[in-house]
Structure 1
């Protein structure tokens, strides 16, 4: 069985143990870090679990989307869609809105 992920650092790849969801840590809090989970199960380092096939049905995490916590201290980039909601210390993560590009008149 895979061990829980250590304190995440930018660049770490995490995987769900219950679905095909995979994320990369873009930004992580410098102080004490909470638990990053998907579908209620703690995510682990991607190298420690084999890739799971994509499951049918509506994905909880969408590939290419960035997810942030309410305090904007944690940011994850979804690299593989899968079932289950992404959470940080039990609170759901939200999709970060894209930044508006300046007008190119």
Structure 2
């Protein structure tokens, strides 16, 4: 699948919807063990138990190398992954202290 910033993607096995924040090129992006799609067509299949930890609304998910970043705009039961490697929730940046 070709990623491009601003693209909305939908899971084909659960309710998860994401928006691409950062990343480009051809990537094997999955949710719940099934490939993400551009057009919502309804859930058709079951979530793979190995990829069933779910997604959280409003959280940013990124690849280990930081090249791909996704924003969850609708939560679901599937886990986001690239090439079978689950994406991590992006940690918030620490704000400078104000003494």
TM-score band by shorter chain is 0.7 to 0.9
Superposed, 1:1-105 pairs within 5 Å as 6-29=1-24, 32-45=25-38, 48-50=39-41, 60-105=54-99
Distance of 2:33 and 2:18 partners within structure 1: 15
User: Root-mean-square deviation (CA), in Å?
Assistant: 1.9
Distance of 1:22 and 1:15 partners within structure 2: 5
Query: Taking structure 2 as the reference length, what is the TM-score of the superposition?
Result: 0.82
Query: Taking structure 1 as the reference length, what is the TM-score of the superposition?
Result: 0.78
Name stretches of at least 5 consecutive residues in structure 1 with no aligned partner: 1-5, 53-57
Q: Report how many aligned residue pairs link the two structures.
A: 91
Displaced runs of 4 or more, over 3 A: none
Contact kept in structure 1, 2:3 and 2:27, CA below 8 Å = no
- Shift of residue 12, structure 1, vs aligned partner: 0.3
Contact kept in structure 1, 2:15 and 2:77, CA below 8 Å = yes
